[in-house]
Amino acid sequence: MSDGKTEWLDLKTAKEASPIKAAKYAVANKNSDEPAFRRWVPYTLRKHESIINAVKRRSTKRRKMEKFGLEVPRPIDVRRALRIDEESGSTHWSSAIAKEVKTVIPVLKILDVKDKIPPGFKHIDLMIVLDVKMDLTRKARICARGDQIDTPPSVTYASVVTRESIRIF
């Protein structure tokens, strides 16, 4: 404990509360050969290692996203979209991005560096989300980064009408 006192826990509670810490503690104190730990500690540490390795493999592997057999660039990767156009000799992605920018730019008020952000507002970044529609046309959408703002203090709820609720009415 943080105040220097010790507290005793039974093995079952320690294993349930924090199995990895309990297994590492058993190894560090050379108790892993005891009957209570003999099978459980190696199994727990192997399982922990396999989970860590699986997460590392997923996070380092940059798989190409495809839809309808066409490569779809990841959000914010506009350079890759333009490279795809260049490689294929087409203008599908660039025209989709240009169309979206043309419709959004008039709505946005571009502030000079000298201008201050109005009170109650917060600067957040924008990102471009790219997709392929069912008719194989390319779609680009400019979206605000919602992860950069705080959750509003009031409860936000958007209900969705289902087919079942319409049948009931």
Dist CA 95 CA 68 (whole Å): 19
> 52-94: per-residue pLDDT in tens?
888 877 765 566 778 788 888 877 778 888 888 888 888 888 9
Q: In the prediction, which pLDDT does 114 show?
A: 57
Q: Which residue type sits at 22? A: A
- CA 2 vs. chain centroid, Å, equals 35
Predicted TM-score (pTM) above 0.85:
no
Q: Sorting pLDDT into bands at 50, 70 and 90, what band is 46?
A: very high
Encoded tokens for 168: 């009931």
CA distances to 64, 128, 161, 163 from 101, rounded to whole Å, are 25, 10, 32, 36
